[in-house]
Amino acid sequence: MEYTHLGRTGLLVSRLCLGTMNFGPFTPEPEAHALMDKALEDGINFFDTANVYGRRIPPMPGLEPGRVGATEEILGRWFAKGKQRRERVVLATKVFGSMEDWPNFRGLSALNIKRACEASLKRLQTDHIDLYQMHHIDRETPWEEIWQAMEQLVQEGKVLYVGSSNFAGWHIARASESARARNFLGLVSEQSLYNLTERTLELEVVPACQEYGLGLMVWSPLAGGLLGGVLAKEQEGRRASPRIQGELKAVRPQIERYEALCAEIGVPPAEVALAWLLAQPVVTAPIIGPRTTAQLKDALDSLDVRLDDETLRALDEIFPGPGGPAPEAYAW
- DSSP assignments along 5-38, one per residue: ESTTSS-EEESSEEE-TTBTTTB-HHHHHHHHHH
Q: Of 53, 132, 212, 258, which is the active-site residue?
A: 53
Tell me the angle at which helices 269-278 and 309-318 cross, rounded to the nearest 10 degrees: 100
Quick check: 40 and 14 in contact, CB under 8 A? no
CA distance 182 to 97: 26
CA distance 25 to 242: 19
Encoded amino acid at 19, one letter = G
- DSSP assignments along 71-89, one per residue: HHHHHHHHHTT-TTTTTT-
> CA-CA distances (angstroms) from residue 302 to 157, 183, 285, 286, 288?
36, 39, 12, 11, 11
Helix then strand count (H, E) for the chain reads: 11, 10
CA distance 8 to 137: 22
Is 53 annotated as catalytic? yes
**Residues with active-site annotation:** 53
